[in-house]
Structures are given as structure tokens and as C-alpha cells.
């Protein structure tokens, strides 16, 4: 019998210490957890499998443009709703939702700045905003930026992250942006000025079929999905199994559709070297 009538054993229940949210991210490539601080320090690339996470437009600008040198163009351009499009959400509701979720006014940011002390015109699309699809505003921003590059005799660098093509909610107004952006880049090319197109995961459809595919040099990040129609739709259409790695950067490099694949940590230095070669 225990002394003084106390039980022989004292049971101590320890309160489970919960892990704070937002410290770890699961890699979409290998499934391994990555400490967020480590992920950010590694340019949002998995150190185990080399998977490149999606970057926002402003993260791209921070990655490639020298600090405090970026001057944004046309930031007050906003999309209209010419077709009064209705779906599960109206077009205006969809735009408002993505504006709040991303902090962007539209799916593209354009401007000018210094890349490794080299003055360039720069554009980037963001797949978080209606999949980075090209409506009237995106097309107008890319076109105006290209025309400014031509007028100022500056190199043009555009980073494409667009999983969507022409924006269906704008119909023909959206489709015509493919021709408009391509015409502006043609004028820039005829002026003897360099245009470097950087393709990231994903770059698809009307964006890839227009300004993203027209670079004097086309650079891609590793394993980026690049093409016009997605592989699942192609397989359903032709009723054949596609080759391994179809529409990934490595497949496109092997077949001559892009010029080089560059790891994100080397992207700025590679672009700087290419600009030196052109100059």
C-alpha cells in the first residue's frame, strides 16, 4: 500500500505542442516537406528534386531586376467586360476575386529597370491571376511595353507564366491580342533590338503561340510545361499515348523549340550574359 494513501504512480499528461502553421511546404515534385525559410533562400526551388515552384510577378521582378530600379508602366489599366460574360461567376466578379487574392490589378506587370546594371524593358505574367490568360489589358500592356522598348532602343525581356491563353470572357477582343503583341515584337525585331523570352511553368496556349514564342533567344526553367494544348487534351484527341516528358522544357530543348534551360538561381546572370552578347 502506498505511503499516506497516495497512488504508487503519478500520471503526468503533457499537452501536445502543436506545430505553428506556415513553416513547411510540401514539394509538388517529390512530396518531401521543405522548411519555408530554406525554400525562400533557394529561390523557391526544391533542393532534393530541383522542382521550381511558381513565383508571383513581383517575386520575378525582385529576382531579376536590380533593387529600387523598376519603374512600372500602365499600372492603372483595368479590364472591362465587353461581353457582359456570365458563368458560375461573372467576369467582373472573377477579376475582383483575383485582384484581392493576388494584390494585382491584372495578370501582367510591365515596366523598365536595370538587370545587372543593364537598362531593359521588362514584362511578366502571373499564373495566379485567371491563369495568367491574355485579355485586352494584358495584350495592351505587353504591346505598349514593346513599343516603348523600340522607341527607346532598349532590349526587351518578358517572363511568361501563363497557363491560360486568350481569355474566353472577352471573346474576339482577347484573340486579337495575339496578333497585336506579335506585330509589336516584329517591329522591335526589325529595329535590330534583342528580345529574350523566358518560359516558366506553365506557358501555354495563346501566350505561347504569340509573344512568348517569338524571342530571339528562348530560355526556359527546368521541367516547365510549355505548349499550346495540354497533353491530356491531345491524347484524347489523337487517341495515342504521348512520349515521356512531352511538352516539358527538356523535351522541347531536345527537339529544337527552345534555346536553353536555365536553373532559377542562374537566370539573372544568364540573361545578363545574353544582353552582353547582343550589345
Do 224 and 266 reside in the same domain of the chain? yes
CA 32 from centre of chain:
23
Do 154 and 41 reside in the same domain of the chain? no
Quick: pLDDT tens for 73-102.
Answer: 998 898 888 888 887 889 898 899 998 999
173 occurs within a structural domain: yes
28 occurs within a structural domain: yes
**Mean pLDDT score, 145-149:** 97
The dihedral sign for the CA sequence 95, 101, 105, 107: negative
What cell numbers appear for 252 in the block? 522541347
CA 99 from centre of chain:
16
Indicate the length of the chain as a whole number: 279
Do 41 and 67 reside in the same domain of the chain? no
190 occurs within a structural domain: yes
CA–CA separation, 222 and 199 (whole Å): 10
Range of the domain at 255: 55-278
Check residues 10 and 132 and name the one with the higher pLDDT: 132
8 occurs within a structural domain: no
Quick: pLDDT tens for 230-239.
Answer: 778 777 787 8
The dihedral sign for the CA sequence 127, 132, 137, 142: positive
88 CB-near residues (< 8 Å, 6+ apart): none
122 close to 70: Cβ distance less than 8 angstroms: yes
Quick: pLDDT tens for 2-56.
Answer: 555 655 655 656 555 555 567 888 887 787 888 888 788 777 788 788 778 888 8
**pLDDT at res. 18:** 56
Q: How many domains does the chain have?
A: 2
Do 155 and 248 reside in the same domain of the chain? yes
Amino acid at each position: 500500500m502506498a505511503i499516506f494513501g497516495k497512488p504508487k504512480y503519478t500520471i503526468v499528461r503533457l499537452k501536445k505542442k502543436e506545430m505553428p502553421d506556415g513553416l513547411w511546404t510540401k514539394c509538388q515534385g517529390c512530396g518531401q516537406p521543405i522548411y519555408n525559410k530554406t525554400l525562400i533562400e533557394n529561390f523557391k526551388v526544391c533542393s532534393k528534386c530541383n522542382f521550381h515552384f511558381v513565383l508571383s510577378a513581383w517575386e520575378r521582378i525582385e529576382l531579376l531586376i536590380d533593387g529600387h530600379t523598376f519603374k512600372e508602366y500602365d499600372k492603372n489599366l483595368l479590364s472591362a467586360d465587353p461581353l457582359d460574360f456570365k458563368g458560375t461567376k461573372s467576369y467582373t466578379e472573377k477579376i475582383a476575386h483575383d485582384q484581392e487574392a493576388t494584390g494585382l490589378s491584372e495578370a501582367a506587370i510591365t515596366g523598365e529597370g536595370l538587370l545587372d546594371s543593364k537598362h531593359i524593358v521588362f514584362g511578366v505574367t502571373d499564373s495566379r491571376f485567371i491563369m495568367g490568360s491574355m485579355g485586352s489589358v494584358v495584350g495592351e500592356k505587353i504591346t505598349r511595353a514593346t513599343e516603348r522598348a523600340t522607341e527607346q532602343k532598349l532590349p526587351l525581356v518578358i517572363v511568361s507564366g501563363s497557363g491560360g491563353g486568350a481569355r474566353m470572357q472577352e471573346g474576339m477582343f482577347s484573340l486579337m491580342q495575339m496578333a497585336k503583341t506579335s506585330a509589336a515584337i516584329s517591329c522591335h525585331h526589325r529595329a535590330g533590338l534583342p528580345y529574350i523570352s523566358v518560359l516558366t511553368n506553365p506557358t501555354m496556349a495563346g501566350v505561347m503561340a504569340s509573344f512568348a514564342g517569338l524571342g530571339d533567344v528562348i530560355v526556359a526553367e527546368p521541367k516547365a510545361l510549355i505548349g499550346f494544348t495540354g497533353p491530356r487534351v491531345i491524347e484524347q484527341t489523337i487517341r495515342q499515348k504521348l512520349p515521356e516528358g512531352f511538352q516539358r522544357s527538356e523535351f522541347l530543348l531536345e527537339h529544337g523549340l527552345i534555346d536553353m534551360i536555365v536553373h532559377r538561381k542562374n537566370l539573372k546572370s544568364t540573361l545578363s550574359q545574353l544582353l552582353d552578347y547582343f550589345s
